[in-house]
Structure 1
Amino acid sequence: MAPSSSPSAPPPGSSAPRSVHLGVSGELARILPDEHGSGHVLQIGGHIQSHVDLARPGHIRYEYLRRMANVLDVLAPPGEPIDVLHLGAGALTLPRYVQTTRPGSAQTVVDIDRELVSFVTAELPLPEGTVLTSLVADARDAAPCLAGRDFDAVVLDIDAGADTAPHRAGRGFYTDLLGLLSPAGVLLVNIGDETGLHLLADQARELEAACLDARLTGVWTLADATMLERLSYGNAVLAAGGLLGGRLSADGRTWEGAVVESRELTARLTAAGPHPAAVLDPAGTAGLVRRIGLA
């Protein structure tokens, strides 16, 4: 018998968590109380995927998401709404943060599993006033459908490890995503990697090539400083877009439209943590890629 696509309620008197079978991935998604603190966790296929604290939606536990949030914080003046595309739903941790810090922001989330967003929002309601559009699609298929939109931020947080589907990584996909940005927008990509960080280096090269296609300055890297120093496993964020240095002029001679000066941006994002924090501008990212290649 095919698994049900609707949330399953626990038996009367049971404290078992609610769950739903995800139709495309075939995994079981469950929401459980956080055993190590306040809030709840989303578990998919037996692995904890997200953390949400309904009482403190501005609190972000996972470091890579906190680093992404720090970039969103400098996109516009405090409290000003922004337009964000989230590729990968999870427990909607980042959309909750955006609504809390920038009420009235227009947000779009894309996930391949039809059941996930409705399950999460039913069990862990979004902050009041959240404007969220949910699209059921593969992230690569959704990108062309969204062409013509100007997002202030595009967040790619799908299959963050070495098993990432090839069509959801690489130069072509990144070029599509950069094309969805407003002139001062930013693309944020979560990369989860093993010791050696060869996937991180590979995707940084791919994103750099896409930046050249889009006439953008290059790739920034945000991560734990110790992780980059030791080339140890963990999650890093690659970032690119007009916010991070502007676009090359039509004559190919000057850079235009930088929102925040590079040194100022580096200082702000480094100070924001989590610590120890490393924030590499395009030159620093290129140096990291070379060092990984020589290791």
Structure 2
Amino acid sequence: PGSRQDVAETDRGLVELVREHLPLPAGAGVTVHGTDARGWLEEAAEGSADLLIADVFGGARVPAHLTSVEYARAAARVLRADGIYAANLADSAPFAFLRSQLANLAEVFDELALIAEPAVLRGRRFGNAVLLASRAPLDITPLTRLCAADAFPARVEHGASLARLIGGAKPVRDNEAVASPEPPDGAFGIG
């Protein structure tokens, strides 16, 4: 409440549908931009955000241009020194995509954490993972407690366990970036 929020949504038809059927109340402090997320980040003022949330999917996949270290740098540029970047991604074992995204963030940010359901982390199923990144320390202890006590418990990986997950993954540059993996049939109740 009381925060200023900017939303970048490339699907202008969706933007118009929401404006028509689910209009925001006057003074909500939310501005919706009919534009691509990366383009918006590249034009945004340096150090202008406390929190960036990337929950961007083209269909069921994160578009390739949002999966590179250059994209991670654009996000970091817009964040204040203690700002937090959060990205919702999906993958499954052996986590090639997720590991590359962690490697991207590790090249740009000092602190990383990963939140996911235990079954996803154990490689038992395809599912979502939330990546957190910051140049400032992340307060992991309360986050871990909250995630473990949730109605849908999740684990928080940080430090050495996260470094093991990243393993030898290398950052992905724009010229080699690919979209996130296609979910298997039925992964999210679809198919």
Partner residue, 2:18? 120
Gaps of 5+ in 2: 170-191
Q: How many residue pairs were aligned? A: 169
SS at match of 2:56: coil
Q: Distance in 1 between matches of 2:70 and 2:159?
A: 20
Could you tell me which of 42, 51, 73 is aligned with 1:144?
42
Asked if 2 retains the 8 angstrom alpha-carbon contact of 1:221 and 1:236, the reply is yes
Please provide the CA RMSD for this pair: 2.6
Identical residues among aligned pairs (%): 29
Q: TM-score, normalised by structure 2?
A: 0.76
Deviation sequence 1:80-106 (CA, Å, 0-9, x none): xxxxxxxxxxxxxxxxxxxxxxx2211
Partner residue, 2:121? 228
Q: Distance in 2 between matches of 1:106 and 1:195?
A: 38
Q: Whose radius of gyration is greater, 1 or 2?
A: 1
Asked if 2 retains the 8 angstrom alpha-carbon contact of 1:222 and 1:238, the reply is yes
- Are residue 158 (structure 1) and residue 36 (structure 2) matched? no
SS at match of 1:137: coil
Partner residue, 1:205? 103
- Are residue 263 (structure 1) and residue 141 (structure 2) matched? yes
Q: Distance in 2 between matches of 1:204 and 1:161?
A: 22
Q: Distance in 1 between matches of 2:24 and 2:119?
A: 35
Q: Distance in 2 between matches of 1:171 and 1:282?
A: 20
Could you tell me which of 19, 25, 29 is aligned with 1:131?
29
Q: TM-score, normalised by structure 1?
A: 0.51
Q: Distance in 2 between matches of 1:136 and 1:145?
A: 14
Deviation sequence 1:188-243 (CA, Å, 0-9, x none): 111112443221111111111122xxxx2x3210111121023521111111014x
Following superposition, the deviation at residue 160 of structure 1 comes to 7.3
SS at match of 2:97: helix
Following superposition, the deviation at residue 275 of structure 1 comes to 2.7
Q: Distance in 2 between matches of 1:223 and 1:206?
A: 19
